[in-house]
Chains A and B, each alone.
Chain A
Amino acid sequence: MKNSARILIAKTGLDGHWRGASLVARALREAGFDVVMAGMSSWEEIVQAISDKEVDLLGISIGGHMEVAERAIAEARKVRPDLPVMVGGVVPPWAKKKLEAQGVEVYPPGSQMSEITEGAQRLTGYRAEPMPGSDTGRSQA
Chain B
Amino acid sequence: MTDTPSRTWKTASGIPLKSSYCREDIPQWYLPEINKAPGELPYQRGAFAQGYRSKPWRIFQLSGFGKPEDENERIKFLLAHGETGFLMEHDRNTADHMYNVDHPDVLARPQDVGLTGAVMQSIRDIDICLSDLPISTTFGHAGGAVVQHAPFALAGYWTVAKRRGLSLETLPGTGQSDFFLTYHGCVPKHQIPTAAGLRFNADIIEFCYKYVKRWVPVSIAAYNGADTGLNAYQELGALFANAVEYLDEIKRRDSMPLEAAAKACGGVNFRLSMDLFEEASKIRAGRKMWADLLERRYGISDAKARQLRIHCVTSGSNMTYQQPLNNIVRGTLMALAGVLSGIQSLGISGYDEALSIPSEHAHQMSVRIQQILQHETNVPAVVDPLGGSYYIESLTAELIERAWSFFDEIQSRGGFLETLNTGWLHHCAHENQHEDFLAQERKERIIVGVNDFRADISPFEVDGFVGVNDAFDVAMQRLKDVRATRAQRPAAQALHNLERVCRNSENIMPAMMDALDAEVTLGEIGDVWRSVLGDWVAPQITI
Which residue on chain A has the smallest CB distance to residue B454?
A110
Chain A residue contacts of B108, Cβ below 8 A: 42-44
> Please, what's the 1-or-0 string for B78-100, where 1 marks a CB less than 8 Å from any CB in chain A?
00000000000000110011000
- Asked whether B30 is an interface residue with its Cβ less than 8 Å from the other chain, the reply is no
Q: Is the CB of A19 within 8 A of B354?
A: no
| Nearest CB of chain A from residue B97's CB, rounded to whole Å | 6
Chain B residue contacts of A68, Cβ below 8 A: 109, 111-112
| Bound CA–CA A64/B356 (angstroms) | 10
Across the interface, B542 reaches (CB within 8 A) one of A18, A27, A110, namely: A18
Which residue on chain B has the smallest CB distance to residue A110?
B450
- Asked whether A119 is an interface residue with its Cβ less than 8 Å from the other chain, the reply is no
**Is the interface on chain B under 10, 10 to 19, 20 to 34, or 35 or more residues?**
35 or more
Stretch at the interface among B10-18, B53-61, B404-412, B429-437: B429-437
| Bound CA–CA A67/B109 (angstroms) | 9
Across the interface, B106 reaches (CB within 8 A) one of A14, A19, A65, A110, namely: A14
> Please, what's the 1-or-0 string for A82-121, where 1 marks a CB less than 8 Å from any CB in chain B?
0000000010111100000000000011101110000000
Across the interface, A140 reaches (CB within 8 A) one of B115, B229, B443, namely: B443
Residue total for A at the interface (Cβ-Cβ under 8 A): 38
| Nearest CB of chain B from residue A139's CB, rounded to whole Å | 6
Across the interface, B322 reaches (CB within 8 A) one of A42, A64, A110, A114, namely: A110
- Asked whether B441 is an interface residue with its Cβ less than 8 Å from the other chain, the reply is yes
Q: Is the CB of A22 within 8 A of B322?
A: no
- Asked whether B166 is an interface residue with its Cβ less than 8 Å from the other chain, the reply is no
> Please, what's the 1-or-0 string for B99-117, where 1 marks a CB less than 8 Å from any CB in chain A?
0000001101101100110
| Bound CA–CA A17/B356 (angstroms) | 14
Q: Is the CB of B188 within 8 A of A23?
A: no
Across the interface, B321 reaches (CB within 8 A) one of A44, A64, A108, namely: A108
> Please, what's the 1-or-0 string for B448-474, where 1 marks a CB less than 8 Å from any CB in chain A?
011100000000011110000000000
Which residue on chain A has the smallest CB distance to residue B323?
A110
Q: Is the CB of A12 within 8 A of B433?
A: no
Chain A residue contacts of B182, Cβ below 8 A: 16
Q: A18-B187, A18-B541 are in contact. Are A23 and B2 (CB under 8 A)?
A: no
Which residue on chain A has the smallest CB distance to residue B108?
A42
- Asked whether A54 is an interface residue with its Cβ less than 8 Å from the other chain, the reply is no
Q: A22-B541, A26-B434, A65-B115 are in contact. Are A15 and B92 (CB under 8 A)?
A: yes
| Bound CA–CA A27/B321 (angstroms) | 20
Which residue on chain A has the smallest CB distance to residue B356?
A92
- Asked whether A141 is an interface residue with its Cβ less than 8 Å from the other chain, the reply is yes
Chain A residue contacts of B228, Cβ below 8 A: 19
Which residue on chain B has the smallest CB distance to residue A64?
B112
| Nearest CB of chain A from residue B504's CB, rounded to whole Å | 30
| Bound CA–CA A22/B295 (angstroms) | 40
- Asked whether B32 is an interface residue with its Cβ less than 8 Å from the other chain, the reply is no
- Asked whether B333 is an interface residue with its Cβ less than 8 Å from the other chain, the reply is no
Chain B residue contacts of A94, Cβ below 8 A: 463-464
| Bound CA–CA A93/B461 (angstroms) | 9
Q: A14-B189, A110-B450, A141-B2 are in contact. Are A65 and B320 (CB under 8 A)?
A: no
Chain B residue contacts of A92, Cβ below 8 A: 355-356, 463-464
Max chain B C-beta neighbours (<10 A), residue from A22, A42, A135:
A22
Chain B residue contacts of A19, Cβ below 8 A: 185, 228-229, 317, 429-430, 433
- Asked whether B497 is an interface residue with its Cβ less than 8 Å from the other chain, the reply is no
Which residue on chain B has the smallest CB distance to residue A72?
B109
Chain A residue contacts of B320, Cβ below 8 A: 109-110
- A residues near B (Cβ < 8 Å) are 12-19, 22-23, 26-27, 37, 39-40, 42-44, 64-65, 67-68, 90, 92-95, 108-110, 112-114, 135, 138-141
Sample of 5 A–B contacts (CB below 8 Å): A16-B182, A19-B185, A42-B109, A68-B111, A93-B463
Known: A14-B96, A109-B320, A109-B321. 5 other contacts (CB 8 A): A16-B186, A23-B433, A64-B112, A112-B440, A112-B450
Ordered nearest first, which 6 A-B pairs have the shortest CB separation?
A92-B464, A42-B108, A65-B111, A64-B112, A110-B450, A16-B187
- B residues near A (Cβ < 8 Å) are 2, 5, 92-93, 96-97, 105-106, 108-109, 111-112, 115-116, 182, 185-189, 228-229, 317, 320-322, 354-356, 429-430, 433-434, 437-438, 440-443, 447, 449-451, 461-464, 541-543
